C-alpha cells in the first residue's frame, strides 16, 4: 500500500502521501480528504485543488519524480498553511499556488518566501536541508527576468517564479543541482519539533488572537526557562487570589531572553478568564506601546472580529502607556478594573525628582513605583504586579532602577509580598540596590525561575548578547572567542563605507524580514555621511509599513535611535558608530562624550557614562539575524576637529581586535 497514514499527524496537514500513491489515488478521493480536514471550503477552493492535483499528477509522473507530497501544511506561527510541500531527494519544496493569476506580484512573492523561511529557520528537521520556495502564478507568462537557482549560505534556494507549465521542470532542474541520494524520513519530518521564535510584534498578534502563545524559543533551554517562569507567575497569581494577597514579581534576565513575551502571554492567558482576572500590560516605553497597539489594530482589521472604534478601544485598554495609566488612576480612589498589572521595562520608572519636574500635580510627587503600589493597593482582596526588568538597559536620566520597587514594598506597603531571583544582584548595574534590605525581609521570596538566562531574540545565536557584553566591557579576547562561535550563523561585520553597509543588509533581507539603520541619539557628527538621527520618527510605520513605503525601516533612509527601538527588534541592522563613544588614548577603556553647540564635551558623570554605554548595548542587541557596524573614516583634524579620524580609527581598530571581520 502506497498511502502514508500516521494518525498522530492528522492536524499537521490536510493530506499527505507518497508521490507514487498520490499519482495512483482517485482525484475525488483526495479532494474529499482535503475537504474533510479543512474549514469552510467553497467551490472555488475545490476547483483550485482539482487543477493542482491534476497538474501535479501529470508532471510528477512524466518526470518520474519520487518522494512525498503534503497538501495544506500548517505553518504554526503564521496561522496559515502552505499549499503544497514536496519532500524529494532531501530537498523541501514549498509551493504557493496563485490560481488564475496572470502576474507575479511582490506581495505574493513575499508570502511564498516567508513560508520557506519559516520552515528553514524554525522546523528542526529542515535546518540542514535545502528548502526551495516556488511561487506559481498559474496563468502568467514565463518569468522574463533571469532566475538563478543558487542558494543562500543557510541552504535556502532563491525564490522561483513559475507558471503551471514551468514549475515541474524547474523542480527537476533544482533536484539535479541540489538533490542527494536517499530520502527524507517522512514520519520524523512531519512530527519534527517546531520552534517559532516570533518578534515582539508577531507574539503580540498571536497572543491577542489565540489567548496564548505557542512555543517561542528556538532552543530547548530558552523555552524551558520561559515555561518555568510563566508557571511560577501563574502560581503566584493563584496564590494571591486564593489567599487575598498583594504580590509583586520581578522577572529579570539577559537582553532578548523573552521577558516581554512572558508578559504578553500572561496577559493573553487571562483574556478568556473571568472579569476578576482582568490584566493590563503597561510600559513607560512609548514607542513599544504605539507599535504593539498599531500592530494589533492592523492585524484585526483583516478579520471579521473587527468593529471600528470598539476594537481600538479594547486594544488600547489592554496595552497602555504608564503615563496614561498613572493619569487615569492617580486621582481616583476606586480600584482599577484589572487585578493583574504587567509592567514592562520596570527599571525605567522615574524617581521622585523626575516626577516633580514632569508633573505639577502634588498627587504625582512620589516615585513611580510608589504610585503604582498605591493604585493597585486599592483592591480590597488581591492584586498582582509583574515587573519585567531589563538589566543593563537604563538609558534615560531620572530612571530609578529596581531598588525603589523593593524599598517601597518593604518600607511603605507592608502588606505586599515580593518575589524575585537572586540573580538580580549578580546581573544588575544598579550599585544602589540594597541586597541586605531585601534578603532580611520575610516578605521577599527568592525563586530562581524568575530569571531568564537564555537569550532568544536571535534564533540564530544565543550567545550574541554575551558577545556584545564582552565588547562593551573592554574584553576583546573573550569577545573574539564568542564571535568565532556565532559568526557563521549570526553574521557580524564592520565597514567604513556606508553604501557597502546598505548593500550588505539589502542582500540579506528575504520575504517580510525587516532591516534598519540605527544610531545613538547623541551621534551628532554622522551628518556629513548623510546619516541624520532625528529626535522623533514615525515609529509605527518604521516597524510596520511594507518595504515599498518610504517610511519603512527597510528603505534604510530614516535612522532610529535607542529610544525608538528599545524593547523592539529587527532582523538585520546597520549600527552606526559615532565619536560619542570612543577609545581612550591608551585604548584600554571607553571615553564618553556628548555634542553640545559646536564641540564634543566629555561626560564626567558615571551615571551619564553608563547611559551612553547602555545606549550602544541596546543598539547592538536589536538585530535577530545579523548586523553590520559602520564606523566613519573621519577627516584630518585641521579639516574638522569634531570628526577627527583618530576618534574613529581607534574604535575601528578595537572592533577588529574583538574579532569582527571587515567588509
Q: What is the pLDDT of residues 186-221, one digit of tens each?
A: 999 998 877 666 676 776 776 666 655 554 444 555
Reported confidence tier of residue 49, pLDDT bands at 50, 70, 90 = very high
Instruction: Tell me which residue of 257, 223, 560 sits closest to 390, measured CA to CA.
Output: 257
Mean pLDDT value of segment 273-291: 80
Q: Give the separation between CA 487 and CA 229, rounded to whole angstroms.
A: 30
Q: Given a cut of 50, is residue 303 above it in pLDDT? A: yes
Return d(Cα 261, Cα 222) in angstroms, integer.
12
What lies within 8 Å, CB to CB, of 68 at 6+ separation is: 4, 16, 17, 18, 19, 86, 87, 88, 183, 184, 186
Q: How confident is the model at residue 399 (pLDDT cuts 50, 70, 90)?
A: low
**C-alpha torsion sign, points 573, 495, 480, 508:** positive
Q: Which residue has the higher pLDDT, 548 or 660?
A: 660
Evaluate whether 572 touches 623 at the Cβ level (below 8 Å).
yes
The H-or-E segment that residue 373 falls in is helix 368-376
Alpha carbons 286 and 320: distance in angstroms, whole number = 9
Residue 540: per-residue pLDDT: 95
Cell of 497: 563605507
Measured from the Cβ of residue 615, the count of other Cβ atoms closer than 10 Å reads 25
Mean pLDDT of the 463-480 span? 93
Query: Is residue 76 scored above 70 in pLDDT?
Result: no
Q: Does 626 have pLDDT greater than 80?
A: yes
**Mean pLDDT across 10-30:** 90
Q: Where are the domains of the chain?
A: 7-190, 200-452, 464-662
pLDDT at 395 (0 to 100): 57
Mean pLDDT of 574-588: 91
Q: DSSP 3-state assignment of 441?
A: coil
Task: Compute the average pLDDT of residues 73-85.
Answer: 77
Band of residue 451 on the pLDDT scale cut at 50, 70, 90: very high
Higher pLDDT, 320 or 460: 320
DSSP string, 450-519: GEE-S--S-TT-TTHHHHHHHHHTT-HHHHHHHHHHHTTTS-EEEES-HHHHHHHHHHH--TT--EEEEE
Residue 69 reports pLDDT greater than 90 = yes
DSSP code string of 587-655 = SSSEEEEEEETTEEEE---HHHHHHHHHHHHHHHT-EEEEEEEE----B-TTT-GGGBHHHHHHHHHHH
Higher pLDDT, 116 or 317: 116
Q: What is the pLDDT of residue 270?
A: 72
Closest by alpha carbon to 420, among 476, 346, 471, 495?
346
- pLDDT interval class at 3 (50, 70, 90): very low
| Helices (runs of H) and strands (runs of E) counted in the chain | 24, 23
pLDDT at 194: 73
Distance set, CA 357 to CA 360, 408, 501 (Å): 7, 21, 42
The answer on pLDDT for 104 being more than 80 is yes
Confidence grade of residue 9 (pLDDT, cut at 50, 70, 90): very low
Of residues 515, 612, 613, the one with CA closest to residue 572: 515
Least-confidence region, from 332-336, 485-489, 518-522, 528-532: 332-336
| pLDDT grade for 316, boundaries at 50, 70 and 90 | confident
Residue 272 has a pLDDT of 59
Residue length of the chain: 663
Give the pLDDT confidence score for residue 306 in this predicted structure.
66
Residue with cell 503600589: 373
Instruction: Tell me the mean pLDDT in the region 485-504.
Output: 96
More confident residue, 349 or 277: 349
* CA 208/CA 305 separation, integer angstroms: 12
Higher pLDDT, 367 or 9: 367
Q: Are residues 626 and 490 in contact, defined by beta-carbon separation less than 8 angstroms?
A: yes
Spatial CA neighbour of 325 closest among 396, 375, 263: 375
Q: Name the H helices within 412-450.
A: 423-427, 435-439
Per-residue pLDDT at 341: 94
For the whole model, what pTM was predicted?
Answer: 0.80
One-character DSSP codes across 164-209: TTTHHHHHHHHHHHH--SS---HHHHHT--B-----HHHHHHHHHH
- The confidence score (pLDDT) of residue 446 equals 96
Q: Which of 165-169, 196-200, 441-445 has the lowest mean pLDDT?
A: 196-200
Q: Lowest mean pLDDT of 39-43, 290-294, 345-349, name the range.
A: 39-43
Distance in angstroms (rounded) separating the CA atoms of residues 457 and 469: 15
Q: CB–CB of 182/172 below 8 Å? A: no
pLDDT, the chain, mean: 87
Q: Which residue has the higher pLDDT, 242 or 429?
A: 242
Burial class (CB in 10 A: 0-12, 13-18, 19+), 179: middle
Residue 315 has a pLDDT of 83
pLDDT at 507: 94
Please, which pLDDT band fits residue 1 given cuts at 50, 70 and 90? Answer: very low
**What grid cell was written down for 490?**
549570526
What percent of the chain stands above pLDDT 90?
60
- What architecture is the 200-452 domain classified under in CATH? 3-Layer(aba) Sandwich (3.40)
| CA-to-CA dists, residue 589 to 134, 392, 617, 649, angstroms | 51, 18, 16, 15
Residue 157 scores a pLDDT above 70: yes
User: 359 or 544: whose pLDDT is higher?
Assistant: 544
Instruction: Answer yes or no: is pLDDT of 564 > 80.
Output: yes
Instruction: Answer whether residue 393 shows pLDDT above 50.
Output: yes
More confident residue, 459 or 282: 282
The pLDDT of residue 601 is above 50? yes
Question: Higher-confidence residue: 257 or 120?
Answer: 120
Could you give the angle at which helices 476-486 and 645-657 cross, rounded to 10 degrees? 60
User: Poorest-confidence range of 1-15, 168-182, 443-457, 565-579?
Assistant: 1-15
**Residue ranges in 15-88 assigned as alpha helix (H):** 19-24, 27-36, 43-62
Looking at the predicted structure, is the pLDDT value of residue 528 above 60?
yes
> Exposed (0-12), middle (13-18) or buried (19+): which is 90, by Cβ within 10 Å?
middle
Q: Give phi and psi for 584, each to the nearest 5.
A: -65, 165
In the predicted structure, residue 276 carries a pLDDT above the cut 80: no
Biggest CA pair distance of the chain? 83
Q: How far is it, in rounded angstroms, from Cα 245 to Cα 242?
A: 8
Cα–Cα distance measured from residue 23 to residue 26, given in angstroms and rounded to the nearest whole number:
8
Q: Residue 172: pLDDT above 50?
A: yes
Residue 118 confidence (pLDDT): 87
Determine the Cα–Cα distance for residues 377 and 367; give it in Å rounded to an integer. Answer: 15
Q: Sorting pLDDT into bands at 50, 70 and 90, what band is 427?
A: low
Q: Which candidate, 74, 94, 98, 83, places its Cα nearest to that of 10? A: 74
Name the 3-class secondary structure at 662. Answer: strand
Query: What is the predicted pLDDT for the residue at 457?
Result: 59
Q: Is the pLDDT of residue 370 over 80?
A: yes
In the numeric block, the cell 540594597 is attached to: 434
Q: Which of 313-327, 366-380, 640-654 has the highest mean pLDDT?
A: 640-654
- Would you list the DSSP string of 518-553? EE-TT--S-GGGT----S---HHHHHHS-TTSTTSG
For residues 52 and 57, give the distance between their C-alpha atoms in angstroms, rounded to a whole number.
Answer: 8
Please tell me the predicted confidence (pLDDT) of residue 458: 55
Give the pLDDT of residue 565: 94
- Rounded CA separation 197/571 (Å): 12
Neighbours of 219 (CB within 10 A): 15
On the question of pLDDT at 39 being above 80, the answer is no
For 401-414, letters b (16+ CB in 10 Å) and e give: bbbbbbbbbbeebe
Amino acid at each position: 500500500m502506497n498511502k502514508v497514514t500516521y494518525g498522530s499527524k492528522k492536524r499537521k496537514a490536510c493530506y499527505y502521501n507518497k508521490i507514487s500513491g498520490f499519482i495512483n489515488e482517485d482525484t475525488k478521493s483526495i479532494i474529499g480528504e482535503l475537504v474533510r480536514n479543512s474549514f469552510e471550503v467553497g467551490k472555488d477552493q475545490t476547483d483550485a485543488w482539482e487543477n493542482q492535483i491534476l497538474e501535479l499528477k501529470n508532471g510528477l509522473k512524466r518526470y518520474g519524480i519520487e518522494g512525498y507530497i503534503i497538501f495544506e501544511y500548517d505553518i504554526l506561527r503564521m496561522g496559515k498553511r502552505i499549499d503544497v510541500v514536496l519532500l524529494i531527494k532531501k530537498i523541501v519544496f514549498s509551493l504557493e499556488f496563485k490560481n488564475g493569476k496572470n502576474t507575479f506580484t511582490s506581495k505574493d512573492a513575499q508570502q511564498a518566501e516567508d513560508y520557506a523561511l519559516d520552515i528553514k529557520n524554525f522546523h528542526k528537521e529542515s535546518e540542514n536541508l535545502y528548502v526551495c520556495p516556488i511561487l506559481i502564478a498559474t496563468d502568467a507568462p514565463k518569468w522574463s527576468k533571469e532566475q538563478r537557482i543558487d542558494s543562500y549560505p543557510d541552504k535556502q534556494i532563491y525564490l522561483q517564479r513559475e507558471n503551471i507549465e514551468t514549475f515541474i521542470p524547474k523542480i527537476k532542474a533544482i533536484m539535479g543541482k541540489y538533490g542527494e541520494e536517499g530520502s527524507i524520513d517522512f514520519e520524523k519530518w512531519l512530527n519534527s519539533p517546531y520552534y517559532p521564535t516570533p518578534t515582539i510584534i508577531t507574539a503580540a498578534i498571536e497572543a491577542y488572537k489565540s489567548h496564548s502563545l505557542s512555543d517561542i524559543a528556538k532552543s530547548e533551554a530558552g523555552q524551558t526557562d520561559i515555561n518555568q517562569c510563566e508557571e511560577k507567575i501563574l502560581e503566584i497569581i493563584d496564590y494571591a487570589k486564593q489567599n487575598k494577597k498583594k504580590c509583586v514579581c520581578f522577572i529579570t534576565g539577559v537582553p532578548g531572553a523573552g521577558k516581554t513575551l512572558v508578559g504578553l502571554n500572561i496577559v493573553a492567558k487571562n483574556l478568556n478568564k473571568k472579569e476578576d482576572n482582568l490584566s493590563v500590560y503597561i510600559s513607560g516605553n512609548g514607542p513599544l506601546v504605539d507599535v504593539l497597539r498599531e500592530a494589533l489594530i492592523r492585524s484585526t482589521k483583516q478579520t471579521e472580529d473587527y468593529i471600528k472604534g470598539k476594537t481600538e478601544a479594547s486594544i488600547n485598554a489592554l496595552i497602555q502607556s504608564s503615563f496614561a495609566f498613572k493619569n487615569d488612576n492617580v486621582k481616583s480612589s476606586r480600584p482599577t478594573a484589572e487585578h493583574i498589572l504587567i509592567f514592562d521595562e520596570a527599571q525605567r520608572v522615574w524617581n521622585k525628582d523626575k516626577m516633580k519636574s514632569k508633573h505639577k500635580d502634588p498627587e504625582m510627587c512620589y516615585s513611580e513605583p510608589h504610585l503604582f503600589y498605591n493604585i493597585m493597593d486599592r483592591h480590597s482582596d488581591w492584586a498582582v504586579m509583574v515587573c519585567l526588568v531589563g538589566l543593563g538597559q537604563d538609558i534615560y536620566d531620572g530612571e530609578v532602577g529596581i531598588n525603589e520597587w523593593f524599598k517601597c514594598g518593604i518600607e511603605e506597603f507592608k502588606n505586599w509580598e515580593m518575589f524575585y531571583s537572586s540573580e538580580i544582584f549578580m546581573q544588575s548595574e544598579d550599585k544602589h540596590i540594597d541586597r541586605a534590605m531585601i534578603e532580611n525581609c520575610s516578605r521577599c521570596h527568592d525563586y530562581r525561575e524568575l530569571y531568564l538566562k537564555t537569550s532568544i531574540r536571535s534564533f540564530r545565536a544565543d550567545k550574541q548578547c554575551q558577545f556584545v557584553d564582552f565588547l562593551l566591557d573592554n574584553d576583546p579576547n573573550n569577545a573574539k572567542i564568542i564571535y568565532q562561535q556565532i559568526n557563521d550563523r549570526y553574521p557580524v561585520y564592520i565597514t567604513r563605507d556606508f553604501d557597502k553597509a546598505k548593500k550588505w543588509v539589502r542582500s540579506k533581507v528575504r520575504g517580510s524580514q525587516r532591516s534598519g539603520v540605527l544610531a545613538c541619539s547623541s551621534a551628532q557628527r554622522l551628518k556629513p555621511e548623510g546619516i541624520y538621527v532625528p529626535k522623533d520618527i514615525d515609529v509605527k510605520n518604521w516597524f510596520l509599513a511594507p518595504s515599498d513605503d518610504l517610511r519603512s525601516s527597510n528603505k534604510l533612509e530614516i535612522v532610529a535611535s535607542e529610544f525608538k527601538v528599545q524593547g523592539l527588534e529587527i532582523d538585520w541592522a546597520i549600527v552606526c558608530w559615532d565619536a560619542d563613544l570612543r577609545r581612550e588614548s591608551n585604548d584600554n577603556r571607553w571615553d564618553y562624550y556628548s555634542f553640545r553647540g559646536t564641540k564634543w564635551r566629555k561626560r564626567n558623570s558615571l551615571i551619564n557614562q553608563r547611559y551612553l554605554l547602555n545606549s550602544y548595548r541596546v543598539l547592538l542587541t536589536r538585530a535577530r539575524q545579523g548586523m553590520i557596524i559602520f564606523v566613519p573614516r573621519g577627516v584630518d583634524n585641521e579639516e574638522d576637529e569634531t570628526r577627527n579620524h583618530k576618534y574613529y580609527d581607534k574604535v575601528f581598530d578595537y572592533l577588529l581586535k574583538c574579532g569582527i571581520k571587515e567588509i
